[in-house]
Amino acid sequence: MKVKMAHTILLVQATQKPETRTYSDYESVNDCMEGICKIFEEHLKKVNPDRPSITYDISQLFDFMDQLHDLSCLVFIVGVFLGVVCSWCKVVWDTMKLLGSCLNIKLDFALFVVFKAHSILLVQATGKPETRTYSDYESVNECMEGICKIYEEHLKRNNDTCPSITYDITQLFSFLDQLADLSCLVFDKSLGSYKPHNKDWVKENIYVMLRMQASSS
């Protein structure tokens, strides 16, 4: 399998503020690297609106990347996402070599309980790419709780005069269904990579979490 053609998700956080988080997805690592360059080019156009053309060298590109609060890449290989989080001076040039060596790892696809696994939540509210954001959690449970909090914040914004907010699971699921995208990447220690999950998986785990909370109360 050629790593260059692997589906890739780029996570970007411009500053320390969580609201500056966004993500993009690409059909290949090469497309992702080009996407990073385009992000920098768009930045240059914004800060130099009067220039008819934009030129830059790689050192300027790397300086821009170093100033970002977070820049991470998840590359889909054989059913899982390999996370690359490091100095992006190295990522741009060494990604192919790094991921190529990862292909030699023997993957075990046995299912296992992942409630304690680091999780990355990707959310896109509408069809507009600018509504994309992401959050990361130390466990699947925390991620599911985070999704509930997203809905609760939504309810508070739309019911700002209500002293308290209540809802049932069907209302929560209806809200999730209305989102343009909701995906969860869960770290599998046995694979050393992130496994992607869709809305249905999220709903199942929210249901399990709420049942566990109800039974323990």
- CATH number at 149 reads 3.30.2260.10
pTM score, whole prediction: 0.73
Residue 110 dihedral angles phi and psi, to the nearest 5°:
-65, 140
- Residue 130 and residue 210 share a domain: yes
pLDDT in tens, the chain (217 residues): 444 567 899 999 999 999 999 999 999 888 999 999 999 999 999 999 988 888 998 999 999 999 999 999 888 876 666 655 444 334 443 444 443 443 333 323 222 334 578 999 999 999 999 999 999 999 999 999 999 999 999 999 998 888 888 899 999 999 999 999 999 999 988 888 899 999 999 999 999 888 888 877 6
The Cα 189–Cα 80 span in angstroms is 12
Chain position carrying tokens 């059909």: 27
Give bridge partners of residue 22 from the DSSP assignment.
12
Q: Which of 58, 90, 96, 88 is nearest to 72 (CA)?
A: 88
Owning domain of residue 194: 116-216
